[in-house]
Amino acid sequence: MSQPAPPQATPSVLPWSHALLALAVMAVWGTNFVVIRIGLDHLPPLAFSTLRFIFVLLPAVFFLKRPQVPWKHLAAYGLFIGAGQFGLLFLAMNGHIAPGLASLVMQMQVFFTIGLSVWIAKESVKLFQVAALALTAAGLAVIALNTDAATTPLGLGLTLLAALSWAGGNMVMKASGKVDALAYVVWASLFSIPPLIALSLTFEGWPAVEAGLRAAGPETWAAVLWQSVGNTMFGFAAWGWLLARHPAAVVTPAALLVPVFGMAASAVFLHEPLPAWKLIAAGLVMAGLAAIVLYPRLSARWTARA
């Protein structure tokens, strides 16, 4: 009687084709901050964010089945990600923070998510998480000490609030269980659009919105489509496809490349300067993120070898 074949070991690295797909997603998500800056040249920030979610919702909502989660989850996620994350981020990037730094500061969502998990789900805090947070906090302190006309305290504060809203959205999606991430984001956009329209009309006014739409050229509409089709449709679909085929510990380290692409693209296309303090801040924040993402995986390997 033949013996059953031993179970296949879980791959510890991505195949080349999958690694290139992950790299493409990180490139889209990282360079997205440059694209936002381009769109803001003509569109008011809240109107721009509204258009982003309109194009995410339509026409995809007619082709993707609604996730079987409570409506209140979709509503909460739509509010956190729409009016919260992107509404605040677009406001911050409208002359209050440089795109490269915005891509870096937004990664604070990792630590905010951990903090919310400790507060809401009563998860325990690990020593390596405290050390990682200390590194990242030091990086933010360097940024705060070097605010100028390109990156103001208001811009830094708005971006941190956007990252906190992103973390709130993460907690809502986590509470929803395993879902199709793309369909989830598309249907949640139903609840992102109304508050963004109301905020845009209240604080920006229809004349400013109309002027922005009239001034919008091909590059502006390309920025809107990049936000919706590239950043959301391609990004979420490809990321979800990778996570469905590989352990999260194998896929998620690629996210460390988002601020790398963000800062590099800002330097190349927008000529954002990279003085020593900015590189030091980036190094500290990236070191903290690397510790959060990589330490558990490395620790598991060390334990297995012991």
Ranges of each domain in the chain: 29-305
Share of the chain above pLDDT 70, in %: 94
Once rounded to an integer, what is the mean pLDDT over residues 203-223?
Answer: 95
What residues contact residue 33 under an 8 Å CB cut-off, 6+ apart?
93, 99, 100, 102, 103, 262, 265, 266
Mean predicted lDDT score pLDDT of the chain: 87
Q: What is the pLDDT of residue 8?
A: 45
Tokens 């290139």 correspond to what residue?
20
Rounded CA separation 160/173 (Å): 20
Omega within 30 of 0 (cis) for the link into 296: no
> pLDDT tens, 136-193?
889 899 998 888 778 899 999 999 999 999 989 988 988 888 888 889 999 999 999 9
More confident residue, 289 or 250: 289
Whether pLDDT at 2 is above 70: no
In which band, very low, low, confident or very high, does the pLDDT at 133 lie, cut at 50, 70 and 90? confident
